[in-house]
Amino acid sequence: MSPLQPWPYPRMCAHRGAGKLAPENTLTAMRVGHAHGYSMVEFDVKLAADNVAFLLHDATLDRTTSGRGRADAMPWRELSRLDAGGWHSAKYAGEMIPTLAAIARWARAHGVFANVEIKPTPGRERETGGAVALDAAALWRDAEVPPLLSSFAEASLEGAREAVPALPRALLLDEMPADWLDRLARLGCVALDADHELLTREIVARTHDNGYRVCCYTPNDPSRVAELVQWGVDTIITDAIDVIPATPP
């Protein structure tokens, strides 16, 4: 049995800021999540054509902005002019895509913890991991608690590790391979971050026994969250910030 890694992050985390109550991955979404009592936010980061780190989930701009095509085809100057809120509702029309720097300034000013998911445009995995890690290290310099970097892309985690080995990393999984513990060790991660449906009490316990923390995404039912808390899941990322309290019983 290995000693558990220190874990300064809260139990509950708001997915993409405010889940689905506001346009995901915008500064407004982060503010809405915080207004519901959440002191940790998760968001997705990729690179613009000129390597500015900005928030967006998809590989293309089509779903959540007024733009079209590859998310990394435009420089930041053009991306900053897009509407990232009108797709959600008229109330948020005109909302801007934020940079990682803007979110970092807001989070640090309000004492909010960050889970930065490195979401590279395909083909830029290692490059994005290294760039986001370097930006995060600079933006959270001297912070008492650094951001947690996570990714499904192992090459991105490798790039982040090479660039800034001191930043904590979590491996995101949407399936549970037999060698998940070996992958965590090889990538130098501090945590597993799995689809909650993959987790069992035994997997949580085994991960802890090997010295790693456990995060999961995105249970939105209070009874399931209560079960995960009982199992000892360390951080639970949810959309249902209006239903599930930031401090579950």
From 15, 36, 88, 208, the catalytic residue = 15
Q: Is 196 a catalytic residue?
A: no
DSSP string, the chain: -PPPPP--S-SEEETTTTTTSS-TTSHHHHHHHHHTT--EEEEEEEE-TT--EEE-SSSBSTTTSS--SBTTSS-HHHHTTS-SSTTT-GGGTTPPPPBHHHHHHHHHHHT-EEEEEE-PPTT-HHHHHHHHHHHHHHHTTT-SSPPEEEES-HHHHHHHHHH-TTS-EEEEESS--TTHHHHHHHTT-SEEEEEGGG--HHHHHHHHHTT-EEEEE----HHHHHHHHHHT-SEEEES-TTTS-SS--
Q: Is 57 a catalytic residue?
A: yes
From 34, 36, 57, 88, the catalytic residue = 57
Which residues are designated catalytic?
15, 57
